[in-house]
Structure 1
């Protein structure tokens, strides 16, 4: 009887250790799934928005795009009057596109927000789902310690472009996204900015 109890305790201890080491991977997968499904409550449990916004603001030039000129009173009098009556609303900050559900979903797949193609529907059968999970592009572990873990997700088409997600442990098995490091601009993006 004592040996069975010892074996049971040993198995439970091994399961707890495996769950402790696998928890960041499950947090990343949950982040990707919640962002794909638009689950705001699930994302709120997985993302420290204040910390992530702070890290993104330092990387993004938060300048709004140039506004379209107002309609002229001489060429479009009704449009000019309608424009004058509209309340002034500042454009949303650029960071909001990155921390939205769609933006996070694109980032977890390696794309910039708004650039990711739609995901195909999940397969039907269990074997097909297992094969799709094995064939899926998994993030690379860039750094691990008991309290922090960094995942690097490569851009599917641009070589050397990686988005890095930093997760921090909040409890024994709870991890939260605290930082996103965006990839450096590609040569095509830099040339396009110089040309404009």
Structure 2
């Protein structure tokens, strides 16, 4: 009897561990399903929209240059923070002086206005789960052919998991989930493909 009880207990532990590991993947498919059905209420529970909005805005504004490391902290690195502030003032003065001396010189074009919220509609979020990346705000499911791409686990810990979707043309989009409860995981960050992450065309052997 004790042997059967031990076997049952082992099966329960294995099943619980399997459920815990697959929970972020289940959450990913929940997001995709909620997007397809336009279920805003479910999306509000599955996604931390403030965090995802901030992550997408930073990446879209950075463009191909990529995201820079955070500026030095005045509390932890006062010398570095002061140097960074002085450099910013010097750059502004230099730019103003250059425009004054060379009024006909070509000016840096203004950064395009990006509507980050256009990437947070159910249709755009669905496009992101299909690997549409920066084209997600123009995604149309009716134009998508083939089987929907499946997520792959790139990282997993007790508190955080990263899943990836790879598109042959656009690259790899990364979805970061954080655990909120035993098996509830919430999407907190979407990492768009960067130039160095884009798939490179295969060269024929020989």
- TM-score band w.r.t. shorter chain: 0.5 to 0.7
Residue equivalent to 1:103: 124
Looking at structure 1, the residues matched to 142 and 28 of structure 2 have their Cα atoms a distance apart, in angstroms, of 17
Paired residue total: 142
Q: CA RMSD in A?
A: 2.6
1:33 aligns with 2:33: yes
The SS at the match of 1:97 is: helix
TM-score normalised to structure 2 length: 0.61
- CA–CA separation in structure 2 for the residues paired with 1:119 and 1:13: 43
SS of residue in 2 equivalent to 1:143:
strand
- The answer as to whether partners of 1:60 and 1:94 remain within 8 angstroms in 2 is no
Does residue 184 (structure 1) correspond to residue 167 (structure 2)? The answer is no
Task: Summarize the Cα distance change of 1:96–1:185 in structure 2 as closer, same or farther, 3 Å threshold.
Answer: farther
| Unmatched 5+ stretches in structure 2 | 63-112, 197-206
1:106–1:136 distance in 2 versus 1, CA, 3 Å: closer
Which residue matches 1:61?
A: 61
Unaligned runs of 5+ in 1: 63-91, 121-131, 187-196
TM-score using structure 1 length:
0.64
Q: Is the 8 A contact 2:123 2:140 kept in 1?
A: no
**Offset of residue 163 of structure 1:** 1.3
Q: Once the two structures are superposed, what CA deviation does each residue of 1:123-171 show, in whole Å capped at 9, x if it has no partner? A: xxxxxxxxx9xx6521232222221111121125x15x12111111111
Say if 2:139 is the partner of 1:116: yes
